[in-house]
Amino acid sequence: MTETSPDLIAHLQARGFIHQSTDLDGLREHLATGDRTIYLGFDATADSLHVGHLQGLMLMRWLQKAGHRPILLIGGATTRIGDPSFRDESRPILDEAQIQANITGITRTFARYLTLVDDAGKVVDNADWLDGIGYLRFLDQVGRYFSINRLLTFDAVRQRLDREHSLSFLEFGYTLLQAHDFTELAKKYDCTVQLGGADQWANIINGVELGRRRDARQLFGLTMPLLTSSDGKKMGKSVSGAVWLDGSRLSPFDFWQFWRNCDDRDVARFLALFSELSLAEIEALTAEQGEALNHAKCVLADHATMLAHGAEAASQARAAAQAIFTEGGDAQLTPMTVDRHSVQAGISLAELLVRLGIETSRAAVRRLASGRGLRLDGVIVEAGDALLDPEALQWRISLGKKRHFHVKVVD
């Protein structure tokens, strides 16, 4: 690494990525003495990743910059079970069509953060090997190496049982499947390192142990801190729901606003994790409070949105926010809703504003537009009679400098 230290592990520690490792000194030497293959797993429980996944993607990005090869493992098979770690109830069971649609959705995100062409990185699906393994063969190849007594001591299992919540045999077997994944990737791709959140510690340990005991292979595990904001909220969630990485689920404007509105106490930490600015630049940006810190939040929003949606989308999101909030002073967005059927049937912006009672007539909207006082998602609208996108899920609409609305399409 060129920024903080030639020691990659020290660099990642300084940026806040490292929580635990099965052998940190051994991993440091392992990464320093060759180009390694490293994997991070995702179950396909939704058709988009959210910001809770960003820490892992950014960690992979730094590792790839240092010359290592990422493998992004999609749990096409394990999604049918659902990881029970630190959950009080089973995840909903998804059918095959839903899982495949989710896989298609989340794989679109990977290429924005990592290079996955010409064998620089890979996306693989554990259904490729788990679908074909028989139960008796799995017990022989994997199950014999695990003690039930030891599995019951892991926090994720013990807490579930201590609360007297049901834990099915299906879920109990999840950790063995993940351990098998690690050793399969080691055999197929010489993958020697697994990344995960802190809640994946037990699953990662089991993979490392299976590799050692059965295959006499040295494997390494590394976990990241579970990420919460300073107000105690879990990353990935906002007041209005999940903060998705896919623009079809959450607009770049809303994504930008999420970062711009973060707690003052989180700005430096989030810049270290979710931007590629040097630590010296981050320290300078966040050294002062007030307007200087608000500028740092905008820088954070710019960098996070640029990675997720591209430079143009980030620029447009910032311009839209400035148009609404800078020109409008302390303006607030008034929430409103419109039914999906009306939008899909075809509706103009002028008709929408009249139907919502925001304006008294379409003629009034036209006059506002002709005076350049009407904005849609931060862009000046010069003709209010143009039809709105029938597939849109929401709009930010500004009338002059003092009236601002957030209109959501609902069923």
Residue 340 tokens read as 């999906």
pLDDT string in tens for the chain (411-residue length) = 445 457 999 999 999 999 999 999 999 999 999 999 999 999 898 899 999 999 999 999 999 999 999 999 999 988 887 665 545 455 677 888 999 999 999 999 999 999 998 889 999 999 999 998 998 999 999 999 988 888 888 777 777 777 767 777 777 788 899 999 999 999 999 999 999 999 899 899 999 999 999 999 999 999 999 888 777 777 765 545 678 999 888 888 889 988 998 889 999 999 999 999 999 999 999 998 888 898 999 999 999 999 999 999 999 888 877 766 655 444 467 778 888 888 888 888 999 988 888 888 888 888 888 888 888 877 788 888 878 888 888 888 888 777 788 888 888
> What CA–CA distance (Å, rounded) separates 295 from 318?
12
pTM of the predicted model as reported, rounded to 2 decimal places: 0.78
User: Which CATH code of 3.40.50.800, 3.40.50.720, 1.20.1050.40, 1.10.240.10 fits the domain covering 251-326?
Assistant: 1.10.240.10
Tell me the torsion sign for CA atoms 89, 92, 96, 97: negative
Contact in structure between 131 and 77 (CB atoms under 8 Å) = yes
At 410 the pLDDT is 86
Given CATH 3.10.290.10, say whether it is the number of domain 328-411: yes
The full DSSP string for 352-394 is HHHHTTSSS-HHHHHHHHHTT-EEETTEE-S-TTSBPPTT--E
In the three-class reduction of DSSP (H, G, I as helix; E, B as strand; rest coil), residue 235 is classed as coil
The predicted pLDDT at position 304 comes to 97
Highest CATH level, class, for 8-224:
alpha beta
Q: Please give the pLDDT value at position 329.
A: 42
Domain ranges of the chain: 8-224, 251-326, 328-411
CB distance 259 to 301 below 8 Å: yes
pLDDT of residue 405: 84
Q: What is the per-residue pLDDT for 4?
A: 40
Identical fold between 251-326 and 328-411: no
CA distances (Å), origin 37, targets 40, 178, 190, 407? 10, 17, 7, 46
**pLDDT given for residue 85 in this prediction:** 57
What per-residue confidence (pLDDT) applies to 181? 96
